[in-house]
Amino acid sequence: MIEDLKQLRGKIDAIDDELLKLINMRAQLAQKVGQQKSGVAYRPERESQIFNRLRQHNHGPLSQIQIRRLFTEIISACRALEDPFTVAYLGPEGTFSEEAVTKRFGKSVNALPSSSIDEVFRKVESDAANFGVVPVENSTEGAVGRTMDLLLQTPLLICGELELAIHQCLMAKQSDLSKIRKIYSHPQSFAQCRSWLIENLYNLQEIECIDAASNADAARLAANDEHAAAIAGKQAAEVFDLVLCACNIEDNPNNTTRFLIIGSQAIAPSGRDKTSLVMATSNRPGAVHELLAPLAHHQVSMTRLESRPSRANLWDYVFFVDIEGHQQDINVAKALQALRHNATFFKILGSYPVA
């Protein structure tokens, strides 16, 4: 016999009551954990293990993404009871960096906007923030050079990573595109939407493209000009009360930015980790091949290799490398020891759970 609506709602209410009790029990246990350990409550390796377990045990109908979002907020609220902490990001409010902070830490964290990537690093280095979230590479436009240069100089470590799907929107005070005479955005966002802009705006009227420090700053500028628009994320339209004229205008529908979490704490193995390092070698034939040979010898997979000017001498380069595994893994430790011996400069940037 089909249950009537009243009975179904009664069952839902009973489950909600039980969920409420269990969530508060979890919060009480989190408080006890916080009392027994020192330092900041964020343990990315532990959270990675929690999400991996939930993924294995989830059989629907909620998707893996929905379960992760739900438990991110539960963990965020419980963690705030243990030890509230601050995360610096490239601001102002409404940037993709702020969205990355929320995706990783939930809404119960104290998010601290910063005017530049340099300032994010400074705030964490000076203990004004416990962690920072910075963009390091985009699937369309490649590496974020400033982040990589600062990683080379800083005493901070990489504590984690996350990937964020980037969906760009055109926004303005009104929806009539024929009135638009200028567009504000970050240079990377202009590059990510080049084809759409040519097809939908540049061919229709003369448009001035003006670089902004961030997409959110672009939205702020557009909010003060009837004839201006901005390219930014949906969040920025809400913050600055702008009309969404067009959504998902990025040329690559799989446009994704990888963010790093930076802090001062070393991260223990989670079981599925990545190690980032930066190295240099002498400028001679075969030097790079010899430098990287220990990875193959010790069966360690390299997932990323990127060169950057060292800024020490003209035409000197350093190599940023990501490898699979934690620096405490036996084969990884042996490979790192050999790499250190081969390199003229060697620095481990951190080991952390894979996104």
**Per-residue pLDDT band at 205 (split at 50, 70, 90):** low
Which residues, 6+ apart, have CB-to-CB distance to 141 below 8 Å? 188, 191, 192
Residue 40 is predicted with a pLDDT of: 66
Q: State mean pLDDT over 101-113.
A: 92
DSSP β-bridge partners for residue 133: 89, 261
Q: Which residue has the higher pLDDT, 323 or 46?
A: 323
pLDDT of residue 200: 85
The phi and psi torsions of 19 (rounded to 5 degrees) equal -60, -45
| Average confidence (pLDDT) over 79-95 | 85
Judged against a pLDDT cut of 90, whether residue 136 lies above it is answered with yes
Domains 169-249 and 266-353 alike in fold: no
Report which of residues 355 and 206 the model is more confident about.
Answer: 355
Topology (CATH) of 266-353: Alpha-Beta Plaits (3.30.70)
Average pLDDT, the chain: 90
269 pLDDT tier (thresholds 50, 70, 90): very high
Residue 106 token pair: 């939930």
- Tell me the CATH number for domain 17-33+41-82: 1.20.59.10
Structural domain boundaries in the chain: 17-33+41-82, 85-164, 169-249, 266-353
The fourth-level CATH superfamily of domain 169-249 is Periplasmic binding protein-like II (3.40.190.10)
Predicted TM-score (pTM) of the model is 0.84
pLDDT digit string, tens, across residues 230-258: 999 998 999 999 999 999 999 988 889 99
pLDDT at 60 over 80: yes
Least confident of 32-36, 53-57, 125-129, 138-142: 32-36
Q: How confident is the model at residue 283 (pLDDT cuts 50, 70, 90)?
A: confident
Q: Give the phi and the psi of residue 317 in degrees, each rounded to 5.
A: -125, 150
Residues labelled catalytic:
257, 259
Instruction: Give residue 310's pLDDT.
Output: 78
Question: What band does 147 get if pLDDT is binned at 50, 70 and 90?
Answer: very high
Q: Is 108 left (phi over 0), alpha (psi -120 to 50) or beta?
A: alpha
Q: Which of 220, 213, 225 is nearest to 236 (CA)?
A: 220
Average of per-residue pLDDT across 28-34: 83
Within 10 Å of residue 343's Cβ, how many Cβ atoms?
Answer: 19
Report, as an integer, the average pLDDT of 110-125. 95
Q: Where residue 33 falls among pLDDT bands split at 50, 70, 90? A: confident
Burial class (CB in 10 A: 0-12, 13-18, 19+), 230: buried
Q: In percent, how much of the chain has pLDDT > 70?
A: 96
- Classified by CATH at the fold level, domain 85-164 comes out as D-Maltodextrin-Binding Protein; domain 2 (3.40.190)
pLDDT of residue 38: 63
Instruction: Please tell me the least confidently modeled range out of 12-21, 206-215, 328-337.
Output: 206-215
